[in-house]
Chain A
Amino acid sequence: METHPVPTPAEAEIAERIGSAARERTPLSIQGNATKAGMLRPVQAARTISTAGYSGISLYAPKELIISAHAGTPLPEIEAALAEQGQHLIAEPADLSAILGASDKPQTIGGVVAANLSGPRRVASGATRDHVMGVRVVTGAGELIHSGGRVLKNVTGLDLCKLLTGSHGTLGVITEVTLKVLPAPEASATLILPKLPPDAAIRALSLALGSPFGVSGAAWVPSLPGSGVPAALLRIEDFTASVSYRIERLRGLLDVAAAEIVADDASRALWRAVRDATLLPVGADDAVWRVSVRPSAGAEVLRAMEDACGARGFLDWGGGLVWLAAPASTQAHAAVEAAARRSGGVWTLMRAPVALRGAVDVVPPEVPALARITARVKAAMDPAGILNPGRIFAGV
């Protein structure tokens, strides 16, 4: 049995196009369906390589909790195949069309992995990067390599899966991913704690996340759909009897008289709204940021941004993920940087006009000693510097 990767015709074509671009030093824009092109820094490239046409599930072994798909496979196709077997993607990646604009094409699994997008379940079960068990990648030199494999536990060699996940097409073109999946829970319910301001909400979320009851979602929203009141949300997903038991124990632990419970479809709709950030009112001229901080600092970031520029926001991951929207300006971005830095956290510019995205640090700049390593790793993966140049850091 051949264990070394043999390029499929589609991979061979991608490798050939990248190889020739490398020889000519022609910058390439790397994308799937380009649904996330509005994030991070704009890429100036002469040509585009899209994996959108390279689609299809190549392996699905439900009993081994493993699915492999070509990079261009639409996410909904993967979700549907998993649902048929009662399974799901663990990190519940977001559909960010509310933030990044509706596209007539769905996001691809390659894009989800390249952006390391994770939803509310991140707080309990890990990020997309935690479930990427294998990748096939064409490097900037036009070589097809693989890392990881199709098994759940693998420490053989350097973990390039994690390096590639979240690298936004700057280190290689992901052509196939293998993900760990899990059985979808039988039931889901949400405990809603209404009328809590952010700091009190975070204390409640923290208490719940530090309980033995397996909270799989912990958010605060400024305006609950329906009632319009601010509220903390706690999700439990498990077998039906467990969900009832755990929700009651949480209610007792938090001792909030006015707590409400929504179950199943209503609960799922609520968390889809949190996941996709559709609860964030985003004006046409707004920029959007995600700030990842220690959970207890979430309320402070939110307050600082309200004070600085009237930003609106909500909290996920127990307070550890702050979604922010404010009129796009360098001042607003500077306020985000300052708030994130004060809290020891990091920011990602998720949406802004091209001019702003090209002018600011869309993620925190690295200290010089790390930036030197970054430049050398970039050169090791993409010697001609042609893959999505400048997408994350200027000059990388």
Chain B
Amino acid sequence: MIPLPAPKQDVLQRRAAIVAGLRDLLPESGLISEPNRLKPYETDGLSAYRMPPMAVALPETTEQVAAVLRFCSRNGVRVVPRGAGTSLSGGALPMEDSVVVGLMRMNRILDIDYADRCATVQAGVTNIGVTNAVSANGFFYAPDPSSQLACMIGGNVNMNSGGAHCLKYGVTANNLLGLKIVTIDGDILDIGGHHLDAAGYDWLGLLTGSEGMLAVVTEVTVRILRAPEGARAMLAAFASNEVAGACVDSIISSGIIPVALEFMDRPAIHACEAFAHAGYPLDAEAMLIIEVEGSTAEQDDLLGRLSAICNRHDPISLKVSQSAEESLAIWKGRKGAFGAIGRISPDYLCMDGTIPTSQLPLVLRRIGEMSAGYGLGVANIFHAGDGNLHPLIMFDANDPASFHKAETFGADILRLCVEVGGCLTGEHGVGVEKRDLMPVQFAPHELAQQRRIKSAFDPDWLLNPSKVFPLVGPAAGPVLSMAAE
């Protein structure tokens, strides 16, 4: 288990006064402090870790967020911002002495501007909620993390969320125009706006992916895009990971950038097929789902070119969808992957490294060896175009030894990702989960530099501390000593 910092005893002792003070700042029912009602907030998508906070504040306006942060800042109270709590890395995991600031009541769409192709929404609007608000006019919001039905834009900004279609459309950072943020001092700041380029420093870029450590995001202006005329998928299955990897190389070299290029290994194919009955080839070692967009003729042209490329790599099978329904069937298994693994294993850890795509065969071979060594199953799903690898490690949370092995196995995979030239996390964030692996990717002085940027926004380290940076060790001094500076 990854340790959390010791709570501030003086804050715990002042709990009643802090709760009362916060209650005064929020509307009726805007503050939760009863232990049984705190339970839903004690964990997020990394459910092996649980810690009820001192209280949960549910502000309805940016001004209320500012009042809460100003109060917490003056009282030395730690703050954990939270959207829907879907973080897979423990980004919204509370601490015992923290106040969770939940943005879910700030769920209004404030403005939609088709002429300028942007929408301004509050942080608690769900990812799919943005697309739903503009889809009748043929528009959509591009980043589509798997949790898009639940996850909220504020969380997407803080984790710089990606999705299956970011090969073409980019991640959250590439689809933002402006933010309204609240600093730990309670200052409300507008960053960016409705224009494309910042003059001066790119605060929008720095804040995106900052995992709630620099400020609380309350409003977001996103770019909205006109949906393509249509989209269609194809499926290609291969006899080995190497051949499928070579096929990915050939596709990219051909000049075609598919809107999605997903890779599944044999265990993932089998798990998804058993769950979704999508017609996946069970004799294959690896499978690609490739999606293209455009008019029907353009789809035909691209799928024809892609089929020709796949055929040069001796596919076991090749299926080009002829309709939207057939495309949905191809995606059905992949989209149900988490549920599928959940059905064959009591628990799983979803890892999230990125590797240079050329390293895929080596990395999958090494993961296979580790899987045998640890005696734990693993299924690999891979955003092949951009190198983002999601190994799903299967374990039993009721068995502490199994959980420990799964965490160690996951850490070994991430170390391997860095070793071959990649990184610890492509889209899930560091959070608590990968915090102690940061020294694998960054030297001590580099972590110290990032910490100084954190301190520039939050000198007392009250905003989501204990995330991203190791608490102790050679990388830097402990958070608590940073806070004392």
**Chain A residues engaging chain B, CB cutoff 8 angstroms:** 1, 3-5, 61-66, 86, 116, 118, 122-123, 126-127, 129-130, 139, 143, 145-147, 149-163, 165-167, 182-186, 203, 206, 209-212, 239, 241-242, 245, 292-296, 317, 320-321, 344-348, 363-364, 366-367, 369-370, 373-374, 376-377, 379-381, 392-393
Chain A residues near B405 (CB, 8 Å)? none
Q: Which of B5-13, B185-193, B264-272, B314-322 is the contact stretch?
A: B185-193
B422:A123 contact, CB within 8 angstroms: no
**Chain A CB within 10 Å — which of B115, B118, B160, B227 has the most?**
B115
**5 closest A-B pairs by CB:** A162-B205, A376-B456, A363-B199, A183-B255, A380-B452
A3:B441 contact, CB within 8 angstroms: yes
**Chain B CB within 10 Å — which of A158, A160, A374 has the most?**
A158
A159: contacting residue among B114, B206, B302, B383, CB under 8 A: B206
A379 to B253, CA, bound (A): 44
B301:A3 contact, CB within 8 angstroms: no
A3 to B353, CA, bound (A): 15
Whole-angstrom distance from the CB of B360 to the nearest CB of chain A?
11
Q: What are some 29 contacts across the A-B interface (CB < 8 A)? A: A118-B197, A139-B449, A143-B449, A145-B449, A154-B354, A154-B423, A154-B426, A156-B434, A157-B430, A158-B209, A159-B205, A163-B206, A183-B256, A209-B117, A210-B115, A211-B226, A245-B295, A292-B197, A294-B113, A344-B193, A344-B195, A346-B198, A347-B199, A367-B189, A376-B457, A381-B449, A381-B453, A392-B201, A393-B200
B195:A242 contact, CB within 8 angstroms: no
B356:A242 contact, CB within 8 angstroms: no
Q: Contacts A183-B255, A212-B226, A293-B195: A149 and B422 contacting too (C-beta < 8 A)?
A: yes
Q: Contacts A317-B196, A345-B195: A373 and B457 contacting too (C-beta < 8 A)?
A: yes
Closest residue to A163 on the B side, CB-wise?
Answer: B206
Whole-angstrom distance from the CB of A131 to the nearest CB of chain B?
9
B201:A163 contact, CB within 8 angstroms: yes
A157:B450 contact, CB within 8 angstroms: yes
A68 to B442, CA, bound (A): 19
A4:B443 contact, CB within 8 angstroms: yes
A271 to B368, CA, bound (A): 50
A162:B195 contact, CB within 8 angstroms: no
A126:B421 contact, CB within 8 angstroms: no
**Chain A CB within 10 Å — which of B162, B204, B453 has the most?**
B453
B425:A155 contact, CB within 8 angstroms: yes
B185:A158 contact, CB within 8 angstroms: no
A186:B452 contact, CB within 8 angstroms: no
B195:A150 contact, CB within 8 angstroms: no
B425:A370 contact, CB within 8 angstroms: no
Decide yes or no whether B100 CB sits under 8 A from chain A. no
A237 to B457, CA, bound (A): 42
B253:A4 contact, CB within 8 angstroms: no
A165: contacting residue among B187, B202, B226, B429, CB under 8 A: B202
CB under 8 Å from chain A, chain B span 239-294: 249, 252-257, 294
Chain A residues near B203 (CB, 8 Å)? 370, 373
B438:A157 contact, CB within 8 angstroms: yes
A150 to B417, CA, bound (A): 12
B442:A157 contact, CB within 8 angstroms: yes
Whole-angstrom distance from the CB of A355 to the nearest CB of chain B?
21
A152: contacting residue among B185, B386, B447, CB under 8 A: B386
Whole-angstrom distance from the CB of B57 to the nearest CB of chain A?
21
Chain B residues near A4 (CB, 8 Å)? 442-443, 446
Chain A residues near B139 (CB, 8 Å)? 210
Closest residue to A62 on the B side, CB-wise?
Answer: B253
CB under 8 Å from chain A, chain B span 143-198: 159-160, 162, 166, 170-171, 173-174, 183, 185, 187, 189, 191, 193-198
A339 to B283, CA, bound (A): 65
Chain A residues near B254 (CB, 8 Å)? 183
Closest residue to B424 on the A side, CB-wise?
Answer: A156
A165 to B183, CA, bound (A): 23
B162:A153 contact, CB within 8 angstroms: yes
**Chain B CB within 10 Å — which of A66, A150, A155 has the most?**
A155
Chain A residues near B436 (CB, 8 Å)? none
B193: contacting residue among A183, A242, A345, CB under 8 A: A345
B356:A64 contact, CB within 8 angstroms: yes
- CB contacts between A and B, total, < 8 Å: 262
Decide yes or no whether B404 CB sits under 8 A from chain A. no
A317 to B449, CA, bound (A): 36
A185 to B172, CA, bound (A): 25
Count class of interface residues, chain B: 35 or more
Decide yes or no whether B23 CB sits under 8 A from chain A. no
A245:B298 contact, CB within 8 angstroms: yes
Closest residue to B388 on the A side, CB-wise?
Answer: A153
A348:B196 contact, CB within 8 angstroms: no
Chain B residues near A348 (CB, 8 Å)? 199
A380:B387 contact, CB within 8 angstroms: no
Whole-angstrom distance from the CB of B306 to the nearest CB of chain A?
12
A344:B199 contact, CB within 8 angstroms: no
Chain A residues near B199 (CB, 8 Å)? 292, 346-348, 363-364
B255: contacting residue among A186, A292, A381, CB under 8 A: A186
Closest residue to B419 on the A side, CB-wise?
Answer: A1
A210:B114 contact, CB within 8 angstroms: yes
B114:A145 contact, CB within 8 angstroms: no
A181 to B191, CA, bound (A): 28
Q: Contacts A155-B429, A344-B194: A369 and B187 contacting too (C-beta < 8 A)?
A: yes
A182:B174 contact, CB within 8 angstroms: no
B443:A294 contact, CB within 8 angstroms: no
Chain A residues near B209 (CB, 8 Å)? 155, 158-159
Residue interface mask B371-414, A partner, CB < 8 A = 1: 00000000000010111100000000000000000000000000
Chain B residues near A167 (CB, 8 Å)? 201-202
A158: contacting residue among B193, B255, B450, CB under 8 A: B450
Chain B residues near A380 (CB, 8 Å)? 449, 452-453, 455-456
B228:A166 contact, CB within 8 angstroms: no
A149:B446 contact, CB within 8 angstroms: no
Chain A residues near B249 (CB, 8 Å)? 63
Whole-angstrom distance from the CB of B188 to the nearest CB of chain A?
8
A9 to B446, CA, bound (A): 19
Whole-angstrom distance from the CB of A30 to the nearest CB of chain B?
16
A186 to B257, CA, bound (A): 13
A364:B200 contact, CB within 8 angstroms: yes
A210:B117 contact, CB within 8 angstroms: yes
Chain B residues near A364 (CB, 8 Å)? 199-200
Closest residue to A249 on the B side, CB-wise?
Answer: B295
B446:A146 contact, CB within 8 angstroms: yes
Chain B residues near A146 (CB, 8 Å)? 442, 446
Q: Contacts A122-B196, A153-B162, A206-B116: A130 and B173 contacting too (C-beta < 8 A)?
A: yes
Decide yes or no whether B216 CB sits under 8 A from chain A. no
Decide yes or no whether B432 CB sits under 8 A from chain A. no
Chain A residues near B107 (CB, 8 Å)? none
Decide yes or no whether B484 CB sits under 8 A from chain A. no
Chain A residues near B385 (CB, 8 Å)? 152
A242 to B298, CA, bound (A): 6
A63:B357 contact, CB within 8 angstroms: yes
Chain B residues near A150 (CB, 8 Å)? 356, 421
Chain A residues near B427 (CB, 8 Å)? 153, 155
Decide yes or no whether B466 CB sits under 8 A from chain A. no
Chain B residues near A292 (CB, 8 Å)? 195-199
Decide yes or no whether B468 CB sits under 8 A from chain A. yes
